[in-house]
Amino acid sequence: MAAFFSSLGNNAMKLITSLRWYDFLDIAVVALLIYYCIKLFRRTRAVHLLRGVFLIIIIYLAVNVLNMSTMSYLLNRLFSNIVIVMILLFQPEFRHAIESFGRGRDLKKIALFMRDSTLQREFYQNAISSIVMACMNMSENRVGALIVLEDKTPLGEIIGTGSELDAKISVPLLENIFYPKSPLHDGAMIIRDARICAAGCILPLTDNEISRELGTRHRAAIGMSEASDAMVIVVSEETGAVSIAKEGKLLRNLTSGQLLEHLNAFMLPKEEEKKPKEKRRKRHEQE
């Protein structure tokens, strides 16, 4: 046993010493590509197709172990053209990824997440302030709005029903999108990572009974919150009331302060209840 571990250690040292600087660059590029592909598939319906591919691979391995000749022949024919099959299955995702990378969207996002955490927090706080101000302005002017804040559940299929934007959140842009004569004002806006991801999207309607005072926007907001973990903001065109839908429940007639509080709790990372410095200061005071 000792000889085995000694041999393993020697082989590992030989491998490490034989690596060149561009080998590390090669590994970093491959890791980045894997991360990019996982991120791409996680955001769309392609994740379900990918699960199906992995299931087929597991079945293929099981068939070979059990020596099932007919199934083995069929699966061998399938895997002989696996590259063409993958291109056909994931053609929309590959095209979207190449276009997005060419426009530099993902490079900007990677740069954002490499920044200091304080800058990230300020970025989210500015986005939240713009959302609150725009909602209050639209409430005052009786302009209807439907804003979906994506959380952990990917909304790729919902985004596909509208027009993709990828724009920084600002008060004028939010108000212009929901302006009654705008071509995108009837649909929902999707916000992902504190950026406007899409507008004019179609949301699923709830099947549950709701108050007759509420219209299609509220029914869509509740339906979206039932189908995902997203938070949905609704501005009523008839009354100007601002509401939010979360987990199938609707909170109505929110003030600007209440809306700000809900958005901070939903979008900002949770902080520790007590900072170490504050703990030390209180401990000294007690002593």
* CA 189/CA 163 separation, integer angstroms: 9
Claim to verify: residue 80 and residue 131 sit in the same structural domain: no
Please give the C-alpha separations between residue 70 and each of 61, 64, 75, 81, in angstroms, as whole numbers: 14, 11, 9, 18
Claim to verify: residue 138 and residue 182 sit in the same structural domain: yes
Is pTM beyond 0.75 here? no
pLDDT computed for residue 43 by the predictor: 55
Residue 273 lies in a domain: no
Claim to verify: residue 147 and residue 263 sit in the same structural domain: yes
Q: What is the CATH number of the domain that holds 256?
A: 3.40.1700.10
Residue 33 lies in a domain: yes
Of 25, 168, 166, 173, the closest CA to residue 101 belongs to: 166
What spatial distance separates the first Cα and last Cα of the chain, rounded to whole Å?
A: 56
pLDDT computed for residue 218 by the predictor: 92
Claim to verify: residue 261 and residue 154 sit in the same structural domain: yes
Domains contained in the chain, number: 2
Claim to verify: residue 84 and residue 223 sit in the same structural domain: no
| Containing structural domain, residue 167 | 117-267
* CA 39/CA 20 separation, integer angstroms: 29
- CA angle 267/44/130 to nearest 5° reads 30
pLDDT computed for residue 214 by the predictor: 85
Mean pLDDT by 10 residues, the chain (287 residues): 64 69 78 72 59 77 81 75 67 59 51 58 90 95 94 85 90 94 89 92 88 87 91 93 92 93 85 44 47
Claim to verify: residue 132 and residue 222 sit in the same structural domain: yes
Claim to verify: residue 212 and residue 95 sit in the same structural domain: no
Claim to verify: residue 125 and residue 81 sit in the same structural domain: no
